[in-house]
Amino acid sequence: MIRVVATTPFDGQKPGTSGLRKKVAVFQQPHYVENFVQSIFDSLEGFEGETLVIGGDGRFYNREAIQIVLKMAAAAGFGRVMIGKGGILSTPAASCVIRKHEAFGGIILSASHNPGGVHGDFGIKYNVGNGGPAPEHVTDAIFERTTSIREYRIFDAPDIDLDTLGITRVGDMVVDVVDPVDDYAELMGTLFDFDAIRDLFASGFTMRFDAMSAVTGPYAHAILEDTLGAAHGTVVNGEPLPDFGGHHPDPNLVHAKELADLLMSDHAPDLGAASDGDGDRNMIIGRGRFVTPSDSLAIIAANAHLTPGYKAGIKGIARSMPTSGSADRVAAKLGVACYETPTGWKFFGNLLDAGLATVCGEESFGTGSNHVREKDGLWAVLMWLNIIAVRRQGVDEIVRAHWAEYGRNYYTRHDYEEVDSAAVDGLMETLRGQLESLPGTVVKGLTIARADDFAYHDPVDGSVTTKQGVRVFFTDQSRIVYRLSGTGTAGATLRVYIERFEPDPARHDQETQAALADLISVARVLPDIEGRTGRTEPSVIT
Ligand code: G6P
Ligand code: ZN
């Protein structure tokens, strides 16, 4: 029986860079999840009888939210839901399942790399039929709907068993509980040379994959250890926990420090990798060599033709604006286009659908390709393994050879987290007001060549997205970008992206912060970060 429940709007149900993300306690308020889910359904058309994919990263409140979504999907008239066993689906696996089974769309329960647990974050994201995050006109419509919602519809039914594979029903709707790994693992097997990677491991290659007690554990155990023969124990923190074991499941040098330290030590394995809460981010570290996400994108683009799935070559590369320009140099050499998009994976969707780009990447530890419509952490790891297996070179050797051929883009990101929103809004507005006067200005010996506020003109649908970050270019091929994070749940976060191109191989061995020291100090004084935020140092440097 369908129950119609009267409700009133909640403030702030506005999807950010990647869905609606709030503290768990916010989602636990009566009607909060229901309002948002009903607003999603109310914004869509033509899904009667169609399939909806549902899955999450296993964080606290995942199962409760899934029960609500299931019963509301039944009330809304979906014909079938496919749901990962235990309510688990990594974000790239959800994208894969949506595409393979031609689902109408999917609902992913995740706050990605944000901490989980009772006091952590939760999130809900809607993906469309191509498997990718809903484009802005859809998320705008959803938000609009949340502001006027008066009722929602939910099927009155007992909770559905999420832990037994196979088919049950809620009313007329079929509930198909599927293995969360199978479809995804099969797709990976079509893209990469599993035999070559098996030989690599058999020849003694060692690896550590840190699943950070988040969703990739089951995927990594199945693919790396069970299928590809990596030694047992290769995957650590491989069991998804509701609070991620109390850790911050973000694969970077700060939150995956143990892994990074191991790779810099005397007993480092050949490769270290980690993935985030929902499995779409990745970090790659070789023995003694951290690979920046921007370099990883460029190296993957330059070597993808060595793998079966990309042997015909890539059609184009896309990167988010704050990502370094290293991929641009690969694109130029390959004679393919390089697209520069706003931050957020959703902007790659049109380029991938139109066949304009094959590989994409972001500085925020995201890499992926046209195989799904999300970034994909394990895909990046398998890509590196396949490249290593073919080239028979270590990570450090591959990275150095790449720099020698293309030049090195020294790159760092400085984050000022949980700062006062009004203060950083003012900082950005002031910078925007100076765009015309900055060119020609000399700051600490560096001359500004040009400055702008990045706007994106989507070549496929013609849409324009403005105010995506202030870029300051210098005459020596350096760049500083200022941008406010779109994913935080507390206060505001100012991100400062600092980059310099160095063509000379004799100068490729500097420590990054040292190589960029002058630019870093320019980046601080130019908008007077200390004066406006009271912070003398960033809270996180990656
Ligand atoms: C999420 C999105 C990414 C994006 C990142 C940026 O992870 O999936 O596509 O790059 O957020 O986050 P920010 O906090 O910088 O807006
Ligand atoms: Zn994520």
Same domain, 421 and 353: no
The string of DSSP letters for 516-542 reads THHHHHHHHHTTTHHHHH--SS-SEE-
Model pLDDT for residues 228-275, shown as the tens digit of each residue: 999 999 999 999 999 999 989 999 988 999 999 999 999 999 999 999
To test the pocket of ligand 1, the residue of 375, 487, 496 to mutate (highest count of ligand atoms within 8 Å of its CB) is 487
Residues 416/524, Cβ–Cβ less than 8 Å: no
CA dist list (Å): 384 to 51, 452, 478: 34, 35, 28
Last residue of a domain, one of 161, 179, 197: 179
Q: Are strands 464-465 and 456-457 parallel, antiparallel or unpaired?
A: antiparallel
Which ligand 1 atom lies nearest to the CA of residue 133? 8
Which ligand 1 atom lies nearest to the CA of residue 281? 7
Same domain, 439 and 473: yes
DSSP code of residue 372: S
Same domain, 393 and 432: no
Going by pLDDT thresholds of 50, 70 and 90, the confidence category of residue 490 is confident
Query: Phi, psi at residue 521, to the nearest 5°?
Result: -75, -30
Same domain, 480 and 376: no
Inter-helix orientation angle 182-191/377-391, to 10° = 30
According to DSSP, the residues that pair with 282 across neighbouring strands are 275
Q: Where are the alpha helices (DSSP H) in 155-220?
A: 182-191, 194-202, 216-220
Query: Which ligand ends up closest to the CA of 482?
Result: 1
Q: What is the ipTM of this complex?
A: 0.97
| Residue-range definition of the domain harbouring residue 462 | 408-541
Same domain, 38 and 160: yes
Same domain, 10 and 155: yes
Model pLDDT for residues 366-419, shown as the tens digit of each residue: 999 999 999 999 999 999 999 999 999 999 999 999 999 999 999 999 999 999
Other beta carbons less than 10 A from residue 233's beta carbon: 9
- Which tokens is 298 given? 């460029």
Please give all residues whose beta carbon lies within 6 A of any atom in ligand 1, as ranges. Answer: 17-18, 112, 320, 343-345, 362, 364, 366, 485-487, 495
Residues 51/101, Cβ–Cβ less than 8 Å: yes
Which residue shows structure tokens 């894969």? Answer: 96
Q: Quick one: average pLDDT of 191-204?
A: 98
Q: Which protein residue's CA is at the shortest distance from atom 3 of ligand 1?
A: 344
How distant is the alpha carbon of residue 263 from its chain centre?
23
What separation in Å is there between the alpha carbon of 68 and the centre of ligand 2? Answer: 23
φ/ψ region of 323 (left if φ > 0, alpha if ψ in -120 to 50, else beta) reads beta
pLDDT of residue 122: 96
Q: Which residues contact 462 (CB under 8 A, 6 or more apart)?
A: none
Closest residue by Cα to residue 485 from 533, 413, 534: 413
What separation in Å is there between the alpha carbon of 60 and the centre of ligand 1? Answer: 21
Residue 516: which CATH number? 3.30.310.50
Same domain, 279 and 416: no
Number of domains in the chain: 3
* Calpha distance 307→383 (Å, rounded): 8
Model pLDDT for residues 277-325, shown as the tens digit of each residue: 999 999 999 999 999 999 999 999 999 999 999 999 999 999 999 999 9
Q: Quick one: average pLDDT of 191-201?
A: 98
Q: Quick one: average pLDDT of 439-448?
A: 95
* Calpha distance 351→360 (Å, rounded): 10
What separation in Å is there between the alpha carbon of 505 and the centre of ligand 1? Answer: 32
pLDDT of residue 136: 85
Same domain, 165 and 25: yes
Model pLDDT for residues 50-80, shown as the tens digit of each residue: 999 999 999 999 999 999 999 999 999 999 9
Last residue of a domain, one of 406, 432, 448: 406
DSSP code of residue 133: B
pLDDT of residue 165: 98
Residues 119/24, Cβ–Cβ less than 8 Å: yes
Same domain, 226 and 267: yes
Residue 329: which CATH number? 3.40.120.10
Going by pLDDT thresholds of 50, 70 and 90, the confidence category of residue 491 is confident
Q: Which protein residue's CA is at the shortest distance from atom 5 of ligand 1?
A: 344
Last residue of a domain, one of 162, 179, 196: 179
Q: Where are the alpha helices (DSSP H) in 6-134?
A: 24-27, 32-42, 62-76, 91-100
Which residue shows structure tokens 């001359």? Answer: 447
pLDDT at 511 over 70: yes
DSSP code of residue 467: -
pLDDT at 452 over 80: yes
Same domain, 189 and 167: no
What separation in Å is there between the alpha carbon of 83 and the centre of ligand 1? Answer: 25
What separation in Å is there between the alpha carbon of 278 and the centre of ligand 1? Answer: 13
Q: Where are the alpha helices (DSSP H) in 419-508?
A: 421-433
Which ligand 1 atom lies nearest to the CA of residue 493? 14
Residues with a known catalytic role? 112
pLDDT at 489 over 70: no
Model pLDDT for residues 131-181, shown as the tens digit of each residue: 999 988 899 999 999 999 999 999 999 999 999 999 999 999 999 999 999
Same domain, 221 and 157: no
Q: Which protein residue's CA is at the shortest distance from atom 13 of ligand 1?
A: 485
Residues 344/15, Cβ–Cβ less than 8 Å: no
Average pLDDT, the chain: 96
Query: Which ligand ends up closest to the CA of 114?
Result: 2
Same domain, 393 and 427: no
